[in-house]
Amino acid sequence: MMNHLNEQLLKLHYILPLSWQKFQKLMTILEDFDKMLHVSPKILALHLKIKEEKAIQLLRHYKELLPKSITSYYEQENIHAIPYTSQFYPERLKQLYDAPSVLYAKGDIQLLNKSKIIAVIGSRGATSYSEEVLKMLIPPLIDEQFIIVSGLAKGADRLAHEATIGYGGKTIGVLGHGLFHHYPKENIELSKHMASEHLLVTEYPPYVGVQKWHFPARNRIISGLSEALIVTEAALKSGTLITTELALEQGKEVFAVPGNIFSEQSRGTNKLIKEGAIPVWNGFQILQELQMFSKYR
């Protein structure tokens, strides 16, 4: 029964990638996905808040997919499709009010449910300062079996993934697009290596391309998977600060690396410290702080 439900959910999500919250609203009129084709396009459009023409198109595509096995398709592409109803879906992400309905992954999916996951993020324009800082931050975390998660963007994200791999740790890259695409192009080889030896994960079906608004959305998954968040460098107007806000809303600890007061890329991190982020300059501090927080929770 559960396999049937998962298959139906994957088919519908392939056509229309909705959050789990929206799928639950859909279930209030369907009871189960078998009744999907018996719902009028008008009612479907009303509940999903889409145009009726799009609802008609959705129903047509869903009907076309019904006789096919989308699970087998993903298996052929070496893609793990993990619906919200799966035992492999991360418990931490279920705490999000807009949790993804499905996660698509390549690599070692067991990393998703490890208890020790910490995010390391920063500016796309990160300087050599981030690279040097990571030499102090990453090794102690890896020694304690922490998984490092970041966004596989250029700059600080790339440096975090590479440092983790270089020191023998495991890393997760959260993408803002489907697994059939690579972005940015300078990270293609890193992406392929992580898909084989580590983990890539996204909430978007494989065919979905790169869209600017996807990246702020994927940030909630980076913070959602993590026990805490570390920021190496960030300008005052930076997408990195969006992720820190999400982490704070989710009740996560935020660590920030102090920087040169004359550096544009440290103005954001210095501001975070002023606002209450914990200043850190080596990984042992982070471990001590996390141990203290877990003790008093």
Domain ranges of the chain: 2-76, 109-295
Least confident interval from 119-128, 210-219, 234-243? 234-243
Q: Is the pLDDT of residue 296 over 50?
A: no
- Counting residues of the chain whose pLDDT is more than 70, the rounded percentage is 97
- Which stretches of the chain are DSSP H helices? 2-15, 20-30, 41-48, 52-65, 70-76, 128-143, 156-166, 188-197, 214-225, 239-249, 264-274, 283-295
**Per-residue model confidence as pLDDT tens digits over 217-232:** 899 999 999 999 999 9
More confident residue, 5 or 208: 208
pLDDT recorded at residue 215: 85
**Per-residue model confidence as pLDDT tens digits over 143-161:** 999 999 999 999 999 999 9
How high does pLDDT run on average in the chain?
Answer: 90
pLDDT recorded at residue 2: 55
User: What is the Cα–Cα distance from 97 to 281, expressed in whole angstroms?
Assistant: 33
State the average pLDDT over residues 108-136. 95
At residue 31 the predicted structure's pLDDT band, cuts being 50, 70 and 90, is low
Least confident interval from 1-5, 120-124, 271-275, 278-282? 1-5
- What would the two tokens of residue 228 be? 């805490």
Q: Report the predicted TM-score, pTM, of the whole model to 2 decimal places.
A: 0.93
CATH architecture of 109-295: 3-Layer(aba) Sandwich (3.40)
Q: In which region does residue 249 sit, left (phi positive, over 0), alpha (psi from -120 to 50) or beta (all else)?
A: alpha
More confident residue, 22 or 113: 113
State the average pLDDT over residues 117-122. 96
Q: Which residues of 144-156 are buried (b: 16+ CB within 10 A; e: fewer)?
A: eebbbbbbbbbbb
